[in-house]
Structure 1
Amino acid sequence: MATTVLIYYDFRMLGHNPHGWDPGRPEWTDAVKAMIELQYPNSNLDTYRHPERPERLTAIVDSLLLEPIDGVRWMLLAPASATQLERAHDAAYVAHVESLDGQSGWLAKDTTAVSPGSVTAARLAAGAGIGAIEAIAAGEARRAFCIVRPPGHHAPADRARGFCLYNNLAVTAAHARKALGYDRVMIWDLDMHHGNGTEAIFYDDPNVLVVDSHCAAPFYPGSGLLAETGAGAGAGYNLNVPLPVGSGNATLQAVFEQVVRPAARAFRPEILLISTGFDCHYLDMVCAMDETGYAAVTQSICALADELCDGRLVMMLEGGYNAKALADSAYAVIEALAGNPVSALNVLPDDPGAAAVADAATFHAKAIGALAPGQAGDANTEN
């Protein structure tokens, strides 16, 4: 029998639709063009479109509707409230974003931007994770996938960055801790880009273990070094795994086996949250994964959740900018969440990420050995 998978989606997130260059800030446009040329040297700047566009979601939703997966339940979601957002973000920043409702413009020179429907979309994206974690806490299911935009993992507490307005997964993790009373939350960010915002929000928090595998600096956003391991009480609870471009399916599976699983077994999380970016897919040009790799690692994540936290698992969409790669990868992941066995795994003859994973595992071995479950009793559960 298929495992129930809750799918959170709302068509109003399509209303976030920033466009192209910002003629009012030519210096920002020049900086963005330089960044694109550095990271994607074969791109045609004359035909550039903002990569974070509505088709990202419709490609995924259309694939799921065309060939339904047994066990999938489509769920309604509610927008996150200011109180919920302020568990991860500064109140002044939340007020600033809300003041942009109905407006258009750039917020940062990395093309983070708003259109008239963006603030509504951002509230809904953050609310999806809250709805998912509350349903799981109530026993409605054990697994959920949130099809959301704008993404979130680049947004720290106090500003927009990297296409991100609110940090959706950080809002979810903070809700789990402060509203639902989970003492130990674990995040794995497997997007191609370092989740600098998530890292910053939980950098000194020993109750939220963050593992982040990503293309190494200077690749955007240029952070996520091995030495960034947390601060204060959170020292050792932030584990980065920087990888070379060109990494494939075997690399991500090795990250799971050599870093994620041993860290999770030491930390004993009560729920697993996954920032699920599909931009490591080979159709996104920089890395060499495909949908079989995402399915295989999801199967491993499900087994780990079953082992440690009664199966409680939320996966949330982050990056991924090729429509076919998004549709194929998300479909494969949701099939794995529903319990369909993974029948194939495509592996490169020589995966360039293997050595980097081994180096990271060696670097983090002492920290993983010293991990202790979070400080029970300080979640300050709210009614």
Structure 2
Amino acid sequence: MTTPVLVYYDTRMLGHNPHGWDPGHPAWTDAVKAMIALQFPGSNLETYSHPERPDRLTAIVDRLMLDPIEGVRWMLPTAASTAQLKQAHDKTYVAHIESLEGESCWLAQDTTAVSPGSVDAAHLAAGAGISAVEAISAGEAQKAFCIVRPPGHHAHSDHASGFCLYNNLAVTAAHARENLGYQRVMVWDWDMHHGNGTQEIFYSDPSVLVVDSHCAAPFYPGSGLLYETGAGAGVGSQINCPLPLGSGNAALLKVFDEVVKPAAKAFQPDILLVSSGFDCHYLDMTCAMDETGFAILAQCMSELADELCDGRLVLLLEGGYNAQALTDSVHAVMKVLAGNPVNACNVLPDDPGCKAVADAVQFHQGPINPACRAKGHS
């Protein structure tokens, strides 16, 4: 049976188009060129193209237009307001980003940058999640997918990093909490990079439970260690699951079965949010997932949402830089959200991530449930 899926997208997000080098920071430029030369020998440094580029989105949209999915409803997001951004970000930082409208510059040595259209794009990317949770709250649908850029999960409360300006998911979660009455928000970040910004923003907040599966340090950004479990009242509400390079579908399914699902049942969320990066796909050359794995993960999360929170589920695009991998994976996920079940996925004969998941489960066996019980959800 077809299920309506709200898909948020706006062509103005293509206006975020950083490229080239920053003449104002020659040391940064030299450092990035050295990093590229080391990782990608033979690359032409003079024609280097920023990996977080507009055609990431156009590739997804083109595929959905050529191979439409019944049940998908295209929606225009409303740009996040300054007040909405300040629910997750420091007011001084928001003012700084807004002051860069129409400018081109780098914000960090990791090539986080802005171009003249970036500020508008960032407001729309953050606003897409808000638009989605508001529509779901109003009963227009239960599921939504936000095709957005710049991505968000590396953006901290007070600084940009990892190609991210505003933390789209954190802004969405804060809005759901503060304006829509959702007392408990649960996040799964399945991007292969640790969502260090999301962790920082909610590290002391017991109302937001964050599960983050990612490539283990020292892989960028080098955080997300097992013992990073929250602080103060939020102890136990950050659950990191670091994985080795080469992890595949079986490892991520094990994360869902043995970490995400039991934590969700203990926490009893009012809504589920996913930082949905697709850079774990084998075509992105670091992990070994494929689109069948992402489809199964989406189906698992959809069923969990149906069981625990009246189906409320929002996915926001994060990473994924190979066009074929990105389009295949997003299309497969949207088919599942629209009510097309899948029964199997490809698995490696020996997935290196499964042992790491077992180690994480053993480590978190103590802190997860006591923290949830402390919130009154045993």
Structure-1-length-normalised TM-score: 0.95
Q: Distance in 2 between matches of 1:10 and 1:158?
A: 26
State yes or no: 1:131 paired with 2:145: no
CA gap of 1:9–1:229, structure 2 versus 1, over 3 A, is same
Match of 1:381 in 2: none
Question: Does the alignment pair 1:146 with 2:149?
Answer: no
Residue 65 of structure 2 corresponds to 65
Unpaired runs of at least 5, structure 1: 377-383
Q: Which residue number corresponds to residue 99 of structure 1? A: 99
The count of aligned residue pairs is: 375
Give 3-state SS (helix, strand or coil) of 1:366's partner.
coil
Q: Distance in 2 between matches of 1:121 and 1:22?
A: 20
1:36 Cα shift?
A: 4.0
Residue equivalent to 1:44: 43
Aligned to 1:295: 295
Partner of 2:119: 119
**Paired residues for 1:304-383 under 5 Å:** 304-372=304-372
RMSD: 1.4
Please list the CA deviations of residues 310-332 of structure 1 after superposition, one character each: whole Å capped at 9, or x if unmatched: 11000000001111111000000
Structure 1 residue ranges (4+ consecutive) displaced by more than 3 angstroms after TM superposition: 33-38, 40-43, 373-376
Conserved 8 A contact 2:248-2:289 = yes
Deviations 1:261-297 (A, max 9, x none): 0100000000000000000011111111110000011
Answering whether residue 2 of structure 2 is matched by residue 2 of structure 1, we say yes
User: For 2:229 and 2:96, how far apart are their aligned partners in 1?
Assistant: 31
Shift of residue 368, structure 1, vs aligned partner: 1.8
TM-score computed with the length of structure 2 as normaliser: 0.97
Matched residues in 2 for 1:206 and 1:18: separation? 36
- The answer (yes or no) to whether the contact 1:130–1:172 under 8 Å persists in 2 is yes
CA–CA distance in 1 between the matches of 2:281 and 2:118? 26
Counting only pairs closer than 5 Å after superposition, residues 272-291 of structure 1 correspond to structure 2 as: 272-291=272-291
Instruction: Evaluate the alpha carbon distance shift between residue 174 and residue 43 of structure 1 in structure 2; reply closer, same or farther with a 3 A threshold.
Output: farther
CA contact (8 A) 1:269 1:373 kept: no
In structure 1, C-alpha distance between the alignment counterparts of 2:36 and 2:218, rounded to whole Å: 13
Residues 1:168 and 2:181 aligned together: no
Structure 2 gaps, min length 5: none
Give the structure 2 partner of residue 13 of structure 1: 13
* Identity, % of aligned positions: 71
CA distance in structure 1 between the partners assigned to 2:373 and 2:133 by the alignment: 20
Distance in 2, matches of 1:13 and 1:72, equals: 20
Partner of residue 216, structure 2: 216
Contact 2:128 2:146 in 1 (8 A): yes
